[in-house]
A and B are shown apart, each in its own frame.
Chain A
Amino acid sequence: MSYHEQLFRAAEWLSSVRNEDKGWGLSAGQASSIVNTAEAVYVLARVPSPVHHSLITDGLNFMQTKTLESARKDAAYPICILRPFGLP
């Protein structure tokens, strides 16, 4: 079994365990997180096939939304940190 064949299997598994919010958790059925979604997107990016492109796009959108939400939760955070995310 070559690296690419194994990678394709991993991508198939990732597509089967994706959550409804289009992110990934640590394993099947676990809540989505930014880190696990980033890991999944990294793996899918290595697969030399366009089949998983929509999963990647959705995963990237999930990460962007969650990272922004995470930044907004802490209003007392130094201005310097919030400003890049468009917050006051």
Chain B
Amino acid sequence: MPRTRYVFFALLACLEHLEKTDKKFINECKGWLLCAKNKDGGWGHVANDEDSKLYPTAMTLLVLDRLCLKDELSPGCHWIISHMKADGWGFSQNEPSSPVATAIAIVALRRFKGMDDQLFIKPKERLLIIDTWGVETEDMPGTPWIHCSYMWVFPALTHLGVEPYSKPIAQGVRELNKLNCKDGWKEPSNHLTVRGQFWATFALHNLQLAYDPAVHTYRIDSALSVSNIQEPHFATIFPHSKWSFVLPKFAYQAATYTLLAMSVAAFFGIHRLAQAIPRKAELFLAVGGFLTTYQLIQKRKMLFPGWVLKIAIGVITVLSSIDLVFGLSVSHLFDYVTIAIKRILSQ
């Protein structure tokens, strides 16, 4: 019979490739996991075994959360919270809390809004002590399952607001970098396995999601930087001009949105307001503005939702198409509209 881990792992991979996956299969996995839930709201290693454990519960919450099943998942969240120990979580009720189990619980719970931050204070303190990080083994049906610390501790800490360049994470990344080899990443036990590649990729990908290249370049380059940590190589650092990273987030966002609005205004024809501006100059300004906006968004992608860029490109495409197909420039179009409105008003 499929164990819970088979299904949530299959779903984890499929969710990365929704366009290539049969939707029916995803629904089947979803239905299976929902049916496999125990009466106490958690999941066991085997479906309906009435022996809920942290790992299958947290992993199931992680994958089902991506399918937007919030209501069905709240009993699972409550199960995890109710099984918290003094300073974190253990893999089962009989085991003491451990860094990896604590990190897994945090990663699962932080996906759900409304969690009391007080809940995470002691677990966070515990995770910040890097000496306790290590590989942990859990007995699962069919195999002793190895859990790796960095895979879970990095995302857990960043979910709790710890910067990816903070000392504990940087130290952890340095340890992880020691596992680099010509074929990717080895396991801490020095074996080259698929699992080892997955652990490292999961850890570094989650770290990269918390990483703002502009801010961190500033921290590395600036004379004001107080960090004396050797730079961990976990992401490509793009060159930035000073102004792009010295600006605080809100100022950078405001400047970009203003430029976008001005470019749209130029495209729509500001010459009607300032007669001295020729249309060609206006179009030149508009296109330049759009290109600059694109560059600004690309430099600090994390600060902008994707729809901003889509709208900007959409506006240019639609207006250019009207001009190309109908020979109707935007300024003319708006002139016609203005004249029509004036006529209506005069009547």
Residues of A within 8 A of B (CB): 1-4, 6-7, 9-14, 17, 24-28, 34-43, 45-46, 56-57, 59-60, 63-64, 66-67, 70-71, 73-74, 77-78, 80-81, 83-86
CB of A46, distance to nearest CB on chain B (Å): 5
22 A-B pairs within 8 Å (CB atoms) are namely A2-B233, A3-B208, A4-B236, A9-B184, A12-B183, A13-B197, A14-B197, A25-B194, A35-B5, A38-B12, A40-B197, A42-B198, A45-B16, A57-B20, A60-B20, A63-B13, A64-B14, A67-B10, A70-B1, A77-B1, A84-B28, A84-B30
Contact B1 A63 (CB under 8 A): no
A59 partner residues in chain B, CB cutoff 8 A: 13
B319 at the interface (CB under 8 A from A): no
Is B185 in contact with A27, judged by CB distance below 8 angstroms?
no
Interface core residue of B6, B27, B31, B201 (most chain A CB under 10 Å):
B201
> What residue in chain A is nearest B12 (Cβ atoms)?
A38
- Whether A6 pairs with B31 at a CB distance below 8 angstroms is no
Decide: A43 and B201 in contact? CB cutoff 8 A.
yes
Chain B residues whose C-beta falls within 8 Å of the C-beta of A10 in the assembled complex: 183-185, 197, 200-201
A56 vs B13: C-alpha distance when bound (angstroms) = 9
Our pick among A26, A37, A77, A85 for the contact of B13 (Cβ within 8 Å) is A37
- Please provide the 8 A-B residue pairs with the shortest distance between their CB atoms, ordered closest to farther: A10-B184, A84-B31, A39-B198, A74-B1, A13-B183, A38-B13, A38-B9, A45-B16
Min Cβ gap B273→A in Å is 44
Q: Which residue of A lies closest to B31 (CB)?
A: A84
Q: Which residue of chain A has its CB nearest to the CB of B211?
A: A3
Residues of B within 8 A of A1 (CB): 180, 233
Q: State in angstroms the CA–CA spacing of A80 and B34 once bound together.
A: 10
A84 to B11, CA, bound (A): 14
Closest to B6 in A: A34
Q: Give the interface SS of chain A, mostly helix, strand, loop or mixed.
A: helix
Complex alpha-carbon distance, A17 and B183, angstroms: 11
Q: Mark B98-126, 1 if CB is under 8 A from A, else 0.
A: 00000000000000000000000000000
Cβ-defined contact, A46 with B205, below 8 A: yes
Chain B residues with Cβ under 8 A from A4's Cβ? 235-236
Which residues of chain B come closer than 8 Å to A67, judged between CB atoms? 2, 6-7, 10, 25, 29
Cβ-closest chain B residue relative to A39: B198
Q: Closest CB-CB distance, B187 to chain A, in whole Å? A: 10
B48 within 8 A of A: yes
CA A35 to CA B204, docked complex, whole Å: 20
What are the residues of chain A within 8 A of B7 when measuring CB–CB? 67
Given the complex of chains A and B, what is the CA–CA distance between A81 and B35 in angstroms?
Answer: 6
From A3, A60, A86, B21 is in contact (CB under 8 Å) with: A60
**Min C-beta distance of B226 to chain A, whole Å:** 25
Q: Does B70 contact A (CB under 8 A)?
A: no
Given contacts A34-B10, A67-B10, whether A40 and B198 have CB atoms under 8 Å apart is yes
B25 — which chain A residues lie within 8 A by C-beta?
64, 67
Q: Is the CB of A3 within 8 A of B192?
A: no
Taking a contact as CB atoms closer than 8 A, the residue among B17, B30, B36, B48 that contacts A45 in the complex is B17
B34 to A: closest C-beta gap in Å: 8
Q: Report the Cα distance A60→B16, complex, angstroms.
A: 10
CB neighbours (8 Å) of B183 from chain A are 9-10, 12-13
Residue of B nearest to A67 (CB): B10
Distance in angstroms from A86 CB to nearest chain B CB is: 7
Q: Are A81 and B17 in contact (CB under 8 A)?
A: no
Given contacts A9-B183, A41-B17, contact A3 B204 (CB under 8 A): yes
Beta-carbon contact of B28 and A86 below 8 Å: yes
Chain A residues whose C-beta falls within 8 Å of the C-beta of B205 in the assembled complex: 46
Q: Mark B253-272, 1 if CB is under 8 A from A, else 0.
A: 00000000000000000000
Contact, CB under 8 Å: A63 / B234: no
